[in-house]
Amino acid sequence: MIQEKKYLPRICDATLRKQLASSGAILVKGCKWCGKTMTSSQASNSILYMQDPDKTISYMNLADTKPSLLLQGETPRLIDEWQMAPVLWDAVRFEVDRRQKVGQFILTGSSVPKDGITAHTGTGRIAQMLMRPMSLFESKESNGAISLKSLLEGNVEISATSSLHIEDIAYSICRGGWPASITLPQEDALEASINYVEAIINEDISRVDGIDKNPDRVRLLLRSLARNIATMATNKTIMDDMQTNDISMTPPTLDIYINALRRIFVIEDQPAWLPAIRSRSAIRTSSKRHFVDPSIATAVLGTSPVGILKDFNTFGFLFESLCTRDMRIYAEANAGSVFHYRDKNNLEADMIVALRDGRWAAIEVKLANKQIEEAAKNLLKLKEKVNTEKMGEPSFLMVLTGGEYAYRRTDGVLIIPIGCLKD
């Protein structure tokens, strides 16, 4: 007998409930395997699985003839992988208008349909929520002793200890935050991210827009993106990197491939922060390259926890990507977004958490403790450079580490292990 897996609560559970209380419908979007269906099913009272092999043909026929029949059921009604029948979007929008009630439908989707495939945007009727793979707090690897929300509220007198060792972090990076992998034995869990990458290469990237893509090119593109993870590598850098492997790609073709990866939520670049500053220094506006989960990078590079432990430079970039994934999840729970900062003098902050109400905080990510001193100095320089009369004082300055202890330095900079952080 197969036992049903216990649901591990997600930070976005509260966001989903809040959206259902204020909108007629909500679209839960995100990459495959990140837990959209399981999370949405916790909040629904009836479910339509569009990918049910026994019923897909019947559902598609109904969608073509009378889609409103597919919307009948107890509310909130979950329509899983709605993009298989894009007409359902307009049907939901119309039904929300007709019923004039909140909390009617939840739609989930792991890809963005082609432009123009729906008649209406859904603005004002269908709210949207982006899901990502699990953070370390959600997978119960971070003890959550320090809350981002509390830090943003000014509670910066901290003290905590992380139980995560460097080996644990290496494993977490390679396993990823895929809910189905969290409780698996290590060998099986590491295989899941490899299977995910193979599905991207051989199926998903071509299916999203109906354009066949060369699997060898896709693989080399993913490898190049992995080698340039957490950097501001340009498209030209990516193309040059691919050409060294005897496969060329023109700029228009690269755009098609990159856009397809975005539409299936595989890549999620980190935009630049553009604050008001006191000096005339030019701010670099390029985004940083990231996958939605660092395990995609390790899988396509063919490495393992042991492998990245032997390559500390690569480990550092992957660790930054892991921290970016988690901080995005924690920041969005606090109505915030995650940016990066870098100017022409190479003064940088790996992450800027910026809230809608104007509050902000600067974060440097350092895997090794010996890098903390330099990171703290950079953060203090950035604080002096930002025009705080316009931007306000930072809520905090943080060095996010792979270490053991959380504490506040005498200069006010916070040192916090990723294994202590939560939303």
Burial class from Cβ neighbours inside 10 Å (0-12, 13-18, 19+) for residue 9 reads: exposed
For residues 165 and 69, state if they share a domain.
Answer: no
For residues 190 and 84, state if they share a domain.
Answer: no
Residue 4 belongs to a domain: no
Does the structure show a pLDDT above 70 at 115?
no
- Residues 101, 384: contact at Cβ < 8 Å? no
- Residues 28, 106: contact at Cβ < 8 Å? yes
- Residues 79, 105: contact at Cβ < 8 Å? yes
Q: Dump pLDDT digits (tens) for 27-48.
A: 999 999 999 999 999 999 999 9
Residue 312 belongs to a domain: yes
For residues 124 and 179, state if they share a domain.
Answer: no
For residues 350 and 398, state if they share a domain.
Answer: yes
For 85, the domain range is 12-131
For residues 108 and 158, state if they share a domain.
Answer: no
Does the structure show a pLDDT above 90 at 348?
yes
Return the pLDDT at 307. 97
Does the structure show a pLDDT above 70 at 3?
no
Top-confidence residue, 119 or 10: 10
Does the structure show a pLDDT above 90 at 113?
no
For strands 105-109 and 77-80, give the pairing: parallel
Return the pLDDT at 122. 61
> Closest by alpha carbon to 221, among 185, 167, 260?
260
Angle separating helix axes 186-199 and 166-175, nearest 10 degrees: 40
For residues 185 and 299, state if they share a domain.
Answer: yes
Does the structure show a pLDDT above 60 at 119?
no
Return the pLDDT at 278. 78
Return the pLDDT at 245. 64
Residue 118 pLDDT class (50, 70, 90 cuts): low
Residue 352 structure tokens? 């800027």
Poorest-pLDDT segment among 169-178, 245-254, 266-275, 366-375: 245-254
Distance (Å, whole) CA 80 – CA 326: 25
Q: Dump pLDDT digits (tens) for 63-99.
A: 999 999 999 999 999 999 999 999 999 999 999 999 9
Return the pLDDT at 249. 83
Return the pLDDT at 399. 98
Return the pLDDT at 1. 37
For residues 291 and 198, state if they share a domain.
Answer: yes
Count of domains for the chain: 2
**Residue 310 burial (CB count, 10 A):** 11
Residue 210 pLDDT class (50, 70, 90 cuts): confident
Does the structure show a pLDDT above 70 at 184?
yes
Return the pLDDT at 116. 47
Q: Which residues of 335-356 are buried (b: 16+ CB within 10 A; e: fewer)?
A: ebebbbbbbeeeebbbbbbbee
Q: Dump pLDDT digits (tens) for 221-248.
A: 999 999 999 999 999 999 988 887 667 7
Poorest-pLDDT segment among 11-20, 141-150, 185-194, 404-413: 185-194
- Residues 98, 130: contact at Cβ < 8 Å? no
SS3 state at 228: coil
Poorest-pLDDT segment among 53-57, 134-138, 169-173, 416-420: 53-57
Does the structure show a pLDDT above 60 at 4?
no
Distance (Å, whole) CA 375 – CA 235: 28
Q: In this structure, what are the phi and psi dihedrals at residue 51, rounded to the nearest 5 degrees?
A: -95, 10
For residues 270 and 203, state if they share a domain.
Answer: yes
For residues 100 and 155, state if they share a domain.
Answer: no
Residue 7 belongs to a domain: no
The domain that holds 111 is classified in CATH as 3.40.50.300
Residue 138 belongs to a domain: no
Q: What percent of the chain is modeled with pLDDT above 70?
A: 95
Mean pLDDT of the chain: 93
Return the pLDDT at 283. 85
Residue 346 pLDDT class (50, 70, 90 cuts): confident
Residue 344 belongs to a domain: yes
Distance (Å, whole) CA 162 – CA 164: 6
Residue 202 belongs to a domain: yes
For residues 86 and 19, state if they share a domain.
Answer: yes
Q: How many residues does the chain have?
A: 423
Does the structure show a pLDDT above 60 at 117?
no
For residues 165 and 114, state if they share a domain.
Answer: no
Q: What is the DSSP letter of 371?
A: G
Residue 86 belongs to a domain: yes
Top-confidence residue, 346 or 373: 373
Q: What is the mean pLDDT of residues 155-161?
A: 96
For residues 275 and 345, state if they share a domain.
Answer: yes
Does the structure show a pLDDT above 70 at 417?
yes
Residue 5 belongs to a domain: no
Q: What is the mean pLDDT of residues 15-25?
A: 96
Q: What percent of the chain is modeled with pLDDT above 90?
A: 86
